Amino acid sequence: MSCSETIASYAFRSLGFGERRLPTTDITLCDQVTLIGSGMLWNIYFGLLAILLGFFSAQAIALAKASSNKAVRKPAEWFIFVFRGSPLFIQFFFGYFLFLSLKQAFPQFDNLTDAWLGAAIVLWLNTTAYSAEIFFGALMAVPKGDLESADAYGFSGWPRFRRIVWPTMLRLAWPAYTNEAIFIFHSTTLVFFSGFPALQQKGDALYYASYFADKTFNPFIPYPILAGYFVLVTLCIITVFGLIGKRLNRHLPQGRTKRPRLMSQIFR
């Protein structure tokens, strides 16, 4: 089978299109590159979904944690504590078996045990908690002078948040949030190793990489391919987030726009 045929039959194998049988003998480099790349579609799907949804929910939780109302603050604090304090791997397992029992009790939750929905929910909640902590830290670091100036100009309530607090919070949180985006993207590789089944061998990039490592007994080819894909996507994330960060900082005097150093140490 030539390489173009391989691409034609395996490019969307991870989504269930094309040739059903995975290559078992005479595995070529082309097979590996194509299938692992096909698996990357899942990683990109999970990563994008978690980052897009998590961006909004995380800010809601961060604001709730900053609230002076105890009934709002406490649940937010607990949510963050539970999801930041326990391993994502265990969360996946627990989530899967929770969804499994839910499904048995109520048939309408049928889809929850499928990776595309169940794992996406767990990832979303997880990144919400981590990003909420980042946004909360940034919220606490908004300069006092900015708030006083806002008061002096007669800003209050929603306009004060929308025009003064929110842009500064986003700007301060951005470097740490970029890290979080990279990490949640890396975490997507855990999905198919943690209970969620890869139905009909429709798995993600790491699933195929470990499949090839098992079949060929040679880890030195599939894993570097996987690493190459991930470095590529990580560079894309850094570029896109860098552009957004530049826009967030565009009002600052150019030349001395040192990137805000807040919590640049925080990773997970």
Partner 1 sequence: MSFYASFGTVLLLLAVTAPLALGFGFGAAAGSRSHLVPVKWLSNLYMAIVRGVPDIAFFLFFVIALDQGLEWMRHQVLCSDWDQPIRQGNDFVVCAAAKLPQNSAPEVYHQIYGFALAVLTFAIVFGAFAGNVIAGAFKAVPHGQIETAEAYGMTKRQTFWRIMVPQMWTYALPGLSNLWMVLIKATPLLFLLGVEDVVYWAKELGGTKTARFTDYPHGDWRMYYFFGLLVFYLLFTKVSEVVLSRITRKLSHGQATAAGEAMRKAGAGA
CA 49 – CA 168 distance, rounded (Å): 25
DSSP type of residue 68: S
Q: How far is the CB of 182 from partner 1 (least distance, A)?
A: 9
Among 199, 231, 236, 240, the residue binding partner 1 under the rule CB under 8 A is 231
CB 60 within 8 A of CB 135: no
Q: How far is the CB of 88 from partner 1 (least distance, A)?
A: 7
CA 198 – CA 191 distance, rounded (Å): 9
Among 18, 41, 170, 216, the residue binding partner 1 under the rule CB under 8 A is 216
Q: Is 26 helix (H, G, I), strand (E, B) or coil?
A: coil
CB 237 within 8 A of CB 52: no
How far CA 265 is from CA of 135, 143, 204, 260, in Å, comes to 15, 20, 30, 12
Q: How far is the CB of 137 from partner 1 (least distance, A)?
A: 13
CA 206 – CA 190 distance, rounded (Å): 8
Residue matched to tokens 């560079």: 235
9 counts as binding partner 1 under rule CB under 8 A: no
DSSP type of residue 253: P
Q: Which of residues 96-155 bind partner 1 (CB under 8 A)?
A: 97-98, 100-101
Determine the interface stretch with partner 1 among 129-137, 147-155, 163-171, 230-238 (rule: CB under 8 A). Answer: 230-238
Q: How far is the CB of 206 from partner 1 (least distance, A)?
A: 6
Among 56, 89, 106, 153, the residue binding partner 1 under the rule CB under 8 A is 89
Q: How far is the CB of 2 from partner 1 (least distance, A)?
A: 21
CA 128 – CA 159 distance, rounded (Å): 25
79 counts as binding partner 1 under rule CB under 8 A: no
Cα 223 to its chain centre, rounded Å, is: 21
Among 115, 209, 211, 262, the residue binding partner 1 under the rule CB under 8 A is 209
CB 127 within 8 A of CB 51: yes
Among 234, 237, 242, 248, the residue binding partner 1 under the rule CB under 8 A is 234
CB 38 within 8 A of CB 208: yes
Q: How far is the CB of 266 from partner 1 (least distance, A)?
A: 6
CA 147 – CA 167 distance, rounded (Å): 12
27 counts as binding partner 1 under rule CB under 8 A: yes
Among 218, 236, 247, 251, the residue binding partner 1 under the rule CB under 8 A is 218
Task: List contacts with partner 1 (CB under 8 A).
Answer: 25, 27, 81-82, 84-91, 93-94, 97-98, 100-101, 186-187, 189-190, 193, 206, 209-210, 213, 215-220, 223, 226-227, 230-231, 234, 265-268
